[in-house]
Amino acid sequence: MRKNHQPGRSNVLSNNAMVATSQPLSSQEALNILKMGGNAVDAAIAASAVLSVVEPGSTGIGGDCFAIIKMDSKKAISVNGSGISPYKANLDFFKKNYIDKIDLLSPHSVTVPGAVDAWYEMHKKFGKLEFKQLFLTAEYYAREGFPVHEIEAYHWKQNEEKLLKNKITKDVFLINNKAPKYATKFKNIKLANTLKLIGENGSKSFYQGDLAKDMIQSLNNLGGLHTEEDFYNQNTIFTDTIISDYKNYNIHQCPPNGPGIVVHLMMKLLEKFNWKDIDCLDPKRFHIQAEVTKICFELKETILGDPNFSDFNVDSLLKENVIEKLYNKINLDKVYDTKNAHVTSHPETVYLTVVDENLNAVSFINSICHAFGSGICSENTGVLFQNRGVNFRLEEGHPNCIEPNKRPLHTIIPGMLTNMNDEITMSYGVMGGQYQPIGQSHLLQNIFEFGMSMQAGLDLPRAFALNGKLKIEKTFSESAIKELTKIGHDIEISESTIGGGQGIMIDRKEGILIGGSDPRKDGLAIGY
């Protein structure tokens, strides 16, 4: 039981179905869809559509998504809805134009939005309700206005300067050149019209015709290389998940170009330590976590990219000799000196999960990369574009080097656990850009190593080793900071919280669902 004399949340329990998203309006919509007879896939798409309206700083139909879906007791399926680069975006172009790094606000940072195609294809394979039903509430909030919640208002204000840089973006996402305030209503009528067309006509209306032409023209006006053919060529990839065993469970992740393999590597390394005498908030725990992070990120940034452009075998990374070699790099008394692992970091993204009455489950994540993406908005559609292309390298021969119609190495990863009978046990995810593999391993350890509930596991303080710093939340004790500094960590107390998260566990013995939603976001777990 949680310490109820301290601020916090209880776990949410239900008998039949449950949703957990990063925003109450989204959670409510998912629940409504379930009660209308929709399944987990229907509810997840509808929830994500609402989030695309009410959390424009974190997600949108101009972004990407990944999902893990387990339906009708069949095996879990990975859904890759990440966007491709323009065909003209080759390394020679950047060399000729003396561009050695893709700028966060450049049209070259914009990959083709993948989310809408993924939603449509997921629905075509697994959905139950009519596709247009899944967009009605999102359209309503965009057209009639939605109340801006507290954390979203804070991030909106933080990004005013960015939104002012582009006239179209400024006109759509600011009011008199200011971010909308907390507890005020905000509308995006252009986006409402776009959502209506998508709902009525499917993804074809987004990737072909007037909507696509407007988006392409808006990018081309700024120097973008995008063509109608690029939008036409966007496709969603359905594959098996990549799986590793952990404490009599199977961890499911999406294959590359997502970094789900990093979760597997981290858990294999963390399992090699004896945690019986280590407290969940022990500095030693966070030191080990930091070292594992640095070692796995170094590997990730060296060898991972779009598998369609490489013959790299992911399974080879999980062999015991590889794990042992990585483990031997960890020293309990000093920090690891990372090489070639400098990455861009961003805190934005939305994660949601749904479990329906038939125990179908969806683990789902949608993002526009950095806060408000590229800051570029299409003139007539209300679509704000992601800037996922900043994750490409401009290094010849690198597996993540930009190439025509290639997907960049990603950050967003949904997670899922099944038992040894291949029954869904837990659907979960942690937001926060590059933090996500660390957040997932942190949550899994909290629950299965330290005996925490879902909500307590999400609540616990976090740290993130990145680019030579160990970022920690303000809830860390002074003694922990001193101990970590003594070992050699360069401590940075983060002004913002680290990540977010949602999760649902299935207690098959009692026949109940147990959900949690991260207090670092505006979110809500709810069931019936």
Q: Are 109 and 141 in contact (CB under 8 A)?
A: no
| Three-state DSSP state, 339 | coil
What lies within 8 Å, CB to CB, of 167 at 6+ separation is: none
Q: How far apart are CA 108 and CA 104, in angstroms?
A: 9
The 8-class DSSP code of residue 377 comes to B
The 8-class DSSP code of residue 391 comes to G
| Residue 338 known to be catalytic | no
Q: Are 452 and 106 in contact (CB under 8 A)?
A: no
Query: Which listed residue (21, 137, 241, 349) is catalytic?
Result: 349
Q: How far apart are CA 73 and CA 359, in angstroms?
A: 8
Q: How far apart are CA 200 and CA 203, in angstroms?
A: 9
Q: How far apart are CA 389 and CA 113, in angstroms?
A: 11
Length in residues, the chain: 528
For residue 136, give the H/E element and its range: helix 136-144
What lies within 8 Å, CB to CB, of 441 at 6+ separation is: 263, 266, 267, 270, 289, 292
Q: Which residues sit opposite 133 in a β-bridge?
A: none
Helix 189-201 / helix 136-144 crossing angle, nearest 10 deg: 160
The 8-class DSSP code of residue 22 comes to S
Q: Are 503 and 427 in contact (CB under 8 A)?
A: yes
Task: List, edge to edge, every strand of the sheet that includes 491-493.
Answer: 463-466, 469-472, 491-493
Active-site residues, by number, are 349
